[in-house]
Every structure is written in structure tokens, then in C-alpha cells.
Amino acid sequence: MSNHNDINQNVNETDNQDVEKIGGLSIFSKGFNYKFNVEGHEIHAWGSAKSGKEKVFVDGKLVSSKWSVTKKSIHTFKLNNDSYELEFNMVSLLTSELHCILIKNGVHLETQKQVPKYTENKKKAKWFIGLHTIAGAICGYWLMTLILDYFSN
């Protein structure tokens, strides 16, 4: 358990060369998906980008499920008398970069990283969020004007 701080420090300092870029808005419909192959077993981790629901499967069988609205969550499960931890670590809320870390018996096995293509660049992400915020405010103002006009007559 004491390895978590060391692992997270190393994970947060990595460059973006090994980050998988997910195209389009599929991250909102399909979520984050990670697959690990360990000793002939497939470990599949899934996290919703909309609701915070997370699930971990081993060979297609659900072994852990929880809701998380924090930047970090840990799922624990057993496989062949070994203790596993699978950690979701939201490295950047601005870019939605999510790391999935697999740990076996306290030893780091693998880290996989994903980020949506439209937010991989922080400057572009700021513009994307800013423009959508302005568009939402304009649409909200227009809609409220219509509603108030309708009910005031």
C-alpha cells in the first residue's frame, strides 16, 4: 500500500507520448476502456465519463463496481490467490486524461492512459470549454426570454 504514493508520483510526471488518444465524442457514449492481460486472464476496466460509474471485469465476470466522483478510486479483487488493485487516476480534469493502474500484491504491473483527442492540448481544451460555456449561456438566455415572454402574455 505504501507504493501508491511512489507510483502516483511517477505516473503524474510522465509525458504524453504514451497516452492513447480517443477520437470524437465516443468517450461520452462508450466511456474509458482499459484491457490488461495477466497470466492468461483478461482484466477489463470501464469508467463512465458522464456518471462516474466504474466496473472491473475478469474474464468477463464483474468483480468490482462502484460510483466515484473523486479524482482517484481504487478497486480491489482477488485472482488465483493474488491480491489486485486497479486504480483510476484522473490526472487532469481540464483535459480528461485518465490513467488506469494495475497493481498485483502491492507491485505495479502496468499503467494505461487515455485522453480525448479534442482535449489533449490544454490550450485547445480551454477554448473548447470557453466556447461551449458562452454558447450555453446565449442559448439559456434566449430560451428563458422565450419562456418569460410566453407566460407574461
**Could you read off the pLDDT of 45-58 as tens digits, one per residue?**
998 877 889 999 99
**Could you read off the pLDDT of 55-84 as tens digits, one per residue?**
999 999 999 999 988 889 999 999 999 999
Cell numbers of 69, please? 466522483
Name the β-bridge partners of 41. 38
Distance, in Å, from the CA atom of 137 to the CA atom of 33, rounded to the nearest integer, reads 33
Domain 3-119 listed as CATH 3.40.50.720: no
Q: Where are the domains of the chain?
A: 3-119, 121-153
User: What is the pLDDT, as a whole number, of residue 114?
Assistant: 83
pLDDT bin (cut points 50, 70, 90) of residue 128 is confident
**Exposure b/e, 69-101, CB count within 10 A at least 16 = b:** eeeebbbebeeeeeebbbbbbbbeeebbbbbbb
Q: What percent of the chain has pLDDT over 70?
A: 75
Distance, in Å, from the CA atom of 116 to the CA atom of 97, rounded to the nearest integer, reads 7
